[in-house]
A and B are shown apart, each in its own frame.
Chain A
Amino acid sequence: MKEFMTGNHAIANAVRLCRTPLIAAYPITPQTSIYEKLSDWEASGVLKGIMMRTESEHSAMASCIAASLTGVRTFTATSSQGLALMHEMLHFASGCRAPVVMANVNRLLAAPWGFWADQTDSLSQRDTGWIQFYAENGQEALDSVIQAYKIAEQVYLPAMVAIEAFFVSHFMEPIDLPDQDAVDRFLPPLDLPHRFNIDKPGYLVPVVPQELYREYKHMAFLSMDSVKEIAVKVDREYKEEFGRGYGIIEPFMFDDAEIVLVTAGSITSTARVAIKSLRDDGYKVGLLKIRLFRPFPREAACAALLGKKKVGVIDRNISIGSGGIFCQELRGALLGIAPQPLTYSYIAGIGGSDVDVETIRKVAFDVMKRTEPKEEAIWIKEDF
């Protein structure tokens, strides 16, 4: 059954369907409607669990970690400044191997202040040991939250599903809500190992010697690496149950493409339209969407791009001093193949600025005309 709803409400529905017994969160625009929806449901009895209204995002994450270690599924949602405030606890979640699931609504980071779409908030948490998915629309966000639980609870690492502010969080679209029975089959209620017992108080994560710390990090690294396979498997199972699957990367009009544009998140939808129009004009242009960012799907990306001549990566994010973050990661991954495609970095949509079909067509033409490598990022503005 399809319902017309925002991306935020699609995520709230996913949390409800996963029967998450502990939610701890703090409101922040543009995430607040997730928080409000879950609060409503708690009040009306639709949600059977506890909704903790904490005094900060830092405390929200701390609550999720502690609850997760006592054995229950947990959820929180945040955005931008809230995620930044959580930063310390993000490391604790992955360090404690707590499979917390979080929705992050990508909003620019102050200063200057603003509420607009920008992926830099979650991308600047890329080294915290969290699994990260970037969803293209509300439907994918809902499906990704359910998948995220199934993956996180196998590898004991926390997972984040990111959607862009307003473009996904507040736009309404028809959402196919899965049956509760089907979700229960796919994601049965579970009892995580009780690694923290309130009857036997202890101090979590005490000081460890150097070599022991190294071992814990190496284990987390290996577990994270295994997500690449597990995420593909979970997505396949999901498709069998619900009829929708996304892959960890998605090629679009790709096989005979001579140049490839790479996108993540909501720009992908616009890019699909742009690519189709370019095809209509006779250009052999394809699209590669990156859905899983952590762990970075290095092998899959290399296999897809092997033999492609030129690649243009569009980033709605910026690492000041370096460039587009998806482009950095992709360039790093492509070191694994030879010959390497010429890879160009385009910074587009920063601070929620619009990336329309015409902009993407311009990017494609820019890639087409280039013959020499160019390392520095190309900023897309009105005069591009």
Chain B
Amino acid sequence: MNHPLIQENKFVIPISYGSTEVIDTGKWGFQKPHTQFMTAPCQESCPAGNNIPQFLYLAQKGEYGNALLTILKENPFPGICGRVCFHPCEVSCNRDKYDESVSISALERYIFDTTSDQVPNLNPVQNVNGRGVAVVGSGPAGLSCAYFLRLLGHKVTVFEAYKEAGGIMTYVIPGYRLPKAIVKKEIDRMIALGIEIKTGAKVGRDITLDALNEYDAVFLSIGAGIESPLGIEGEAFEKVMHGLDFLKRINSGSSIPGGQDVIVVGGGNTAMDVARSSIRNGCRVTIAYRRGRAEMPAIKDEIDDTEEEGARFEFLIQPVRIKMLSDKRLAVEFQRMKLGEPDASGRPRAIPVEGTDFIMETDYLITATGENVDLVSLPTDLIKNGLVYVDNFLRTKNAKMFAGGDVVDQPRTIVTAIGAGKKAAISIDLYLKGVSPEKMFSGIRVGDKGSISFEAYTSGGRFEMNRAAQKVVTFDKLNTLYFEHTSRVKKRKLSREASLKSFQEVNLGLSAEEATTSVSRCFTCGTCNYCYNCYFFCPEGVIALDPIKGTKYVDYEHCKGCGTCAKSCPRNVVVMKEL
């Protein structure tokens, strides 16, 4: 016998000690149903803690405006994330274990696009204790921090070194992936909230550290804006460019090479962006990467798109010397590599193979082998290993200074930066209130992967009262008998010809019909969508549901604890608890 309830004594019999109004010697059942919100795996794996099942539930009902508002409670950039996020949510989606994961990213974009003419009803709270906070850098981390601080009622000033706000979103990611109009719309929403953004204000040049110290708190989010050098002979030639500079030139409207041979060194998203931008300018592109395809850090879709658009990939090679030829072309000497034991990042080490050098000629060589932090303007005592050192709550050694995004040691993705901005905003708010962060952060976590809920924070750590909400619904907890097998809607793209002629957005997003189909595939794990299964299957008729008021009621006086409601709940919202 292996049932946990009857392991100990094989002659034990079930007995209940509860009582009812009428019968005070016991109840029929020894367990009663409870409804509870649980965390879905998509939500847990989203670094921004986006409440995905809730906004998809609203979208299922056709309430796209409310869906947008739900996203905006946790993530200020649905239009951007719906386009360029690497969407770990879709990897952990329970539906992936059933047929194919839900198109969460495309749906987030659809919700943003379809409501783009609406002004979401977002208002900062009235905070009489609101203080002045400076945010340095207006990339995703900085703007996210500013947004959440502003919602908490603080006065926020963002300092941006460049002419326009947005950091990587404005200056690095090309328009065919992320149209500038989208970024502008997202930033305009922030400005409408009352966030002051001072552009062309570089710390150390236009504003001093001392001036920043005048603020009640400071968030450092200057990103990693310096291309790491190759450190080889010939790197200084004019036709050897840095990937970030190249992308900034495109995004600022400056000229870039056209119709020539380009070698891009690197395997990350920057390398892919450079390659695809060059292809659009009529260049013939070769990507040189020192490891294999499987080891490329770029988003897989980006690698596939880059290859589809005509880039040639050369794996396991590394440049060792660059020479200028008489016709001003470059002769790049490469060395072949082989893969060795895994390094600290877990990827296999690339090891040079002696005597395998060869020459490739090209017009331009563009490097995209990683970015470093511009440390010059930062207080030296905050730095460790070329990054700003922070603790679990993004606090630096300086009590009023916080940091997050690419400037600290964390994965360099937009959504991670957004999550860091949110975390920093709450950390700063707690600091300004003089409250220690440990307990609160534990109470507002979303699952166990480090994400937190801003909604939980503003409702006073609501999750603390409901521990179940932090538990994650695993696939085996679902009752999938109620779901039909369906396929994901295939992504629609701009035609190849049109794509390669311009910087027009390549991914076309979902049509209204595709969005309806896609959103109906969401299981809304852990979120009640009033499917009424519990109501229909209850043999005693003791369940009452009201989707308008959002209430669920069980008449415990007459419930016999049979558990049919919990068994028939497809999404693990109804669970049985022993009395």
Kindly report which residue of chain A lies nearest to residue B26, judged by CB atoms: A203
Whether the pair A95, B10 counts as a contact (CB closer than 8 A) is no
Report if A243 contacts B (CB, 8 A): no
Kindly report which residue of chain B lies nearest to residue A215, judged by CB atoms: B3
Select which of A201, A208, A218 is within 8 A of B1 by beta carbon. A218
How many chain B residues touch A (CB < 8 A): the figure is 29
Contacts of B560 in A (CB 8 A): 207
Whether the pair A195, B25 counts as a contact (CB closer than 8 A) is no
Whether the pair B1, A203 counts as a contact (CB closer than 8 A) is no
Report if A206 contacts B (CB, 8 A): yes
Select which of B1, B2, B6, B15 is within 8 A of A206 by beta carbon. B15
CB proximity to B under 8 Å, residues A176-230: 193, 195-196, 200-212, 215-216, 218-219, 223
Nearest-neighbour CB distance to chain B for A94, whole angstroms, equals 11
Complex alpha-carbon distance, A203 and B25, angstroms:
6
CB proximity to B under 8 Å, residues A261-314: none
Complex alpha-carbon distance, A205 and B14, angstroms:
5
Report if B115 contacts A (CB, 8 A): no
Whether the pair A203, B15 counts as a contact (CB closer than 8 A) is yes
Report if B5 contacts A (CB, 8 A): yes
Binary flags per residue of B21-52, CB closer than 8 Å to A gives 1, else 0? 00111111111000000000000000000000
Report if B16 contacts A (CB, 8 A): yes
Report if A96 contacts B (CB, 8 A): yes
Whether the pair B3, A206 counts as a contact (CB closer than 8 A) is no
A205-B15 contact, Cβ under 8 Å, with A211-B3, A218-B1, A219-B1: yes
Contacts of A95 in B (CB 8 A): 13
Whether the pair A207, B3 counts as a contact (CB closer than 8 A) is no
Contacts of A216 in B (CB 8 A): 6, 13-14
Complex alpha-carbon distance, A201 and B25, angstroms:
6
Select which of B12, B17, B576 is within 8 A of A195 by beta carbon. B12
Complex alpha-carbon distance, A128 and B16, angstroms:
24
Report if B65 contacts A (CB, 8 A): no
Contacts of B576 in A (CB 8 A): 209
How many chain A residues touch B (CB < 8 A): the figure is 26
Whether the pair B1, A207 counts as a contact (CB closer than 8 A) is no
Whether the pair A97, B11 counts as a contact (CB closer than 8 A) is yes
Whether the pair A204, B30 counts as a contact (CB closer than 8 A) is no
Whether the pair B12, A206 counts as a contact (CB closer than 8 A) is no
Select which of B14, B17, B27 is within 8 A of A212 by beta carbon. B14
Binary flags per residue of A341-361, CB closer than 8 Å to B gives 1, else 0? 000000000000000000000
Complex alpha-carbon distance, A240 and B18, angstroms:
50
CB proximity to A under 8 Å, residues B85-117: none
Report if B348 contacts A (CB, 8 A): no
Whether the pair A206, B28 counts as a contact (CB closer than 8 A) is yes
Whether the pair B10, A200 counts as a contact (CB closer than 8 A) is no
Nearest-neighbour CB distance to chain A for B34, whole angstroms, equals 15
Whether the pair A208, B30 counts as a contact (CB closer than 8 A) is yes
Complex alpha-carbon distance, A196 and B10, angstroms:
16
Complex alpha-carbon distance, A213 and B28, angstroms:
14
A202-B17 contact, Cβ under 8 Å, with A208-B30, A209-B31, A211-B3: yes
Whether the pair B562, A219 counts as a contact (CB closer than 8 A) is no
Contacts of A195 in B (CB 8 A): 11-13, 15
Kindly report which residue of chain A lies nearest to residue B10, judged by CB atoms: A219
Nearest-neighbour CB distance to chain A for B392, whole angstroms, equals 41
Report if B561 contacts A (CB, 8 A): yes
Contacts of A210 in B (CB 8 A): 563, 567
Nearest-neighbour CB distance to chain A for B36, whole angstroms, equals 18
Whether the pair A215, B13 counts as a contact (CB closer than 8 A) is no
Whether the pair A206, B25 counts as a contact (CB closer than 8 A) is no
A206-B14 contact, Cβ under 8 Å, with A211-B3, A219-B6: yes
Complex alpha-carbon distance, A95 and B12, angstroms:
10
Contacts of B14 in A (CB 8 A): 204-206, 208, 212, 216
Nearest-neighbour CB distance to chain B for A99, whole angstroms, equals 10
Kindly report which residue of chain A lies nearest to residue B24, judged by CB atoms: A201
Kindly report which residue of chain B lies nearest to residue A98, judged by CB atoms: B13
Nearest-neighbour CB distance to chain A for B539, whole angstroms, equals 10
Nearest-neighbour CB distance to chain B for A227, whole angstroms, equals 14
Whether the pair A209, B562 counts as a contact (CB closer than 8 A) is yes
Kindly report which residue of chain B lies nearest to residue A197, judged by CB atoms: B15
Contacts of A254 in B (CB 8 A): none
Complex alpha-carbon distance, A95 and B18, angstroms:
21
Complex alpha-carbon distance, A215 and B13, angstroms:
11
Kindly report which residue of chain B lies nearest to residue A95, judged by CB atoms: B13
Complex alpha-carbon distance, A212 and B1, angstroms:
10
Report if A166 contacts B (CB, 8 A): no
Complex alpha-carbon distance, A201 and B16, angstroms:
9
Select which of A69, A201, A212, A219 is within 8 A of B26 by beta carbon. A201
Complex alpha-carbon distance, A223 and B3, angstroms:
16
A206-B11 contact, Cβ under 8 Å, with A212-B6, A215-B3, A218-B1: no
Whether the pair A206, B29 counts as a contact (CB closer than 8 A) is yes
Report if A156 contacts B (CB, 8 A): yes
Binary flags per residue of B275-295, CB closer than 8 Å to A gives 1, else 0? 000000000000000000000
5 A-B residue pairs with Cβ-Cβ distance under 8 Å, sorted by A, are A200-B17, A201-B24, A202-B25, A206-B561, A209-B562
- A-side residues, CB < 8 A to B, are 69, 95-97, 156, 193, 195-196, 200-212, 215-216, 218-219, 223
User: Knowing that A97-B11, A205-B14, A212-B3 are A-B contacts, what are 8 other residue pairs whose CB atoms are under 8 Å apart, sorted by A's residue number?
Assistant: A69-B13, A193-B11, A203-B18, A206-B27, A207-B560, A209-B31, A216-B6, A223-B10
Closest 9 CB pairs of A and B: A203-B26, A206-B16, A215-B3, A201-B25, A202-B15, A209-B563, A207-B29, A156-B11, A202-B17
